[in-house]
C-alpha cells in the first residue's frame, strides 16, 4: 500500500509518499494535488509532517523516521553517508566519496546525490562543490541556499545560548 500527502513548507509544496513501513519520497512540487490523493490516516505520513514542522521551526536537527529508497548498493551507501553529515555542516562530493571508501568516485557520488528522493530527511543539500560552490540540487539552488542558511542560523542561535 502506498500513501501520499502534501505539506505546505516555507519553501512551497512538498509531496510526501510512504509505504506502511517507511517514507519513500519527499520532493518539492509546484502545487498541491487534489485532496483525494491525501492520506490523512497514515501514521508514517503524520509523523513525517510533524518532524518536518519541527525541522522548519528550528526544533529538530536529525530525523528519526524510517526511509526506504529504491537504488543500487552504491546509491544506498551514498544516501546512508549523507545522513551522517552533521546538521548545519557541509561536505564536498569528494568528502562523501572518501566516507564510503571510494575516494575517486566524486562524480558518481554527485549522480547518486541527484537521485535522492527523500529531500531534507536524507540531507543531500549539505553536499557542495570542492571549491565551496552550491552545485546542483534537484529542488533548485535557491532552495539549497535557503536550507543551508536555515540550518546555519539554528546552529548559530544554539551556540549563542550555550555560551551565555
Return the active site residues: 124
User: Under DSSP, is residue 55 helix (H, G, I), strand (E, B) or coil?
Assistant: helix
Closest CA to 116 of 67, 160, 47: 67
Burial class of 110 by CB neighbour count within 10 A (0 to 12, 13 to 18, 19+) = buried
Q: Which residue has the cell 544516501?
A: 79
b/e burial code for range 116-133 (CB count within 10 A of at least 16 → b):
bbbbbbbbbbbbbeeeee
What span, in angstroms and rounded, lies between the C-alpha atoms of 144 and 149? 9
d(CA 135, CA 128): 6
Give, as one character, the DSSP assignment of residue 132: S
Amino acid at each position: 500500500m502506498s500513501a501520499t500527502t502534501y505539506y505546505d513548507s516555507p519553501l512551497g509544496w512538498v509531496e510526501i509518499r510512504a509505504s506502511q513501513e517507511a517514507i519513500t519520497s519527499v520532493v518539492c512540487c509546484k502545487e498541491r494535488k487534489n485532496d483525494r490523493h491525501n492520506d490523512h490516516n497514515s501514521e508514517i505520513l503524520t509523523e513525517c509532517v510533524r518532524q518536518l514542522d519541527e525541522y522548519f521551526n528550528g526544533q529538530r536537527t536529525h530525523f528519526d523516521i524510517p526511509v526506504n529508497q529504491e537504488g543500487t548498493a552504491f546509491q544506498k551507501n551514498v544516501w546512508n553517508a549523507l545522513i551522517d553529515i552533521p546538521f548545519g555542516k557541509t561536505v564536498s562530493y569528494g568528502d562523501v566519496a572518501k566516507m564510503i571508501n571510494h575516494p575517486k568516485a566524486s562524480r558518481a557520488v554527485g549522480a547518486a546525490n541527484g537521485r535522492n528522493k527523500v529531500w531534507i530527511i536524507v540531507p543531500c543539500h549539505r553536499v557542495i562543490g570542492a571549491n565551496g560552490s552550491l552545485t546542483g540540487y534537484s529542488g533548485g539552488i535557491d532552495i539549497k541556499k535557503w536550507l543551508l542558511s536555515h540550518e546555519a542560523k539554528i546552529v548559530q542561535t544554539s551556540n549563542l545560548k550555550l555560551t551565555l
